[in-house]
């Protein structure tokens, strides 16, 4: 079983979007039984507020016919590093915060999602940009490239 954790700042926009896009890709390929997929945040505010998926993320997932379920923000915890095989961040600052929480990445588990793509880069936060379409397509690109990297 390959355990994947997607991580962004608040776990209400990018990381749950990646979680459900990747789940659909895996299911479409008949690989669901080979994966455990979840998402988390680097900050704890949304967890304290019991925040769910942002409406912009819900809207784009619905428009693109990506199934999703209720998900509430949770902060990444030190034990997640030992549990997950891959911790896929949305941007450089996420990686810095993840490492401040879980420690040094001695097992090379922490990557930006788009590090697997042809043009590695950060995925912009639609909380600030308002552009959920751009974020969606970046996440699709990253998830597809990550699956190719896994060679499944």
Catalytically active residues, by annotation:
8, 14, 125
Is 94:101 a contact under the CB 8 Å cutoff?
Answer: no
Among 94, 129, 132, 130, residue whose Cα is nearest residue 115:
94
Residue pair 57/13 in contact by the 8 Å Cβ criterion: yes
> What ranges make up the beta strands (E) of 10-152?
35-41, 86-89, 110-112
**At 71, phi and psi to the nearest 5?**
-145, 130
Tokens standing for residue 55? 């409406």
Q: To which residue do tokens 């308002």 refer? A: 130
Pairwise CA distance, residues 125 & 121, whole Å: 13
């Amino acid at each position: 079983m390959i355990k994947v954790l997607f991580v962004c700042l608040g776990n209400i926009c990018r990381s749950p979007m990646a979680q459900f896009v990747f789940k659909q890709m895996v299911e479409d390929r008949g690989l669901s039984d080979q994966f455990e997929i979840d998402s988390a945040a680097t900050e704890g505010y949304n967890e304290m507020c019991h925040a769910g998926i942002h409406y912009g993320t819900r809207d784009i997932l619905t428009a693109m016919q990506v199934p999703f379920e209720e998900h509430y923000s949770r902060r990444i915890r030190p034990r997640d590093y030992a549990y997950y095989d891959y911790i896929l961040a949305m941007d450089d600052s996420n990686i810095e915060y993840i490492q401040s929480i879980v420690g040094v990445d001695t097992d090379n588990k922490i990557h930006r999602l788009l590090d697997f793509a042809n043009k590695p880069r950060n995925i912009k936060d639609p909380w600030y940009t308002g552009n959920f379409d751009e974020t969606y397509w970046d996440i699709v690109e990253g998830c597809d490239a990550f699956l190719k990297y896994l060679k499944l």
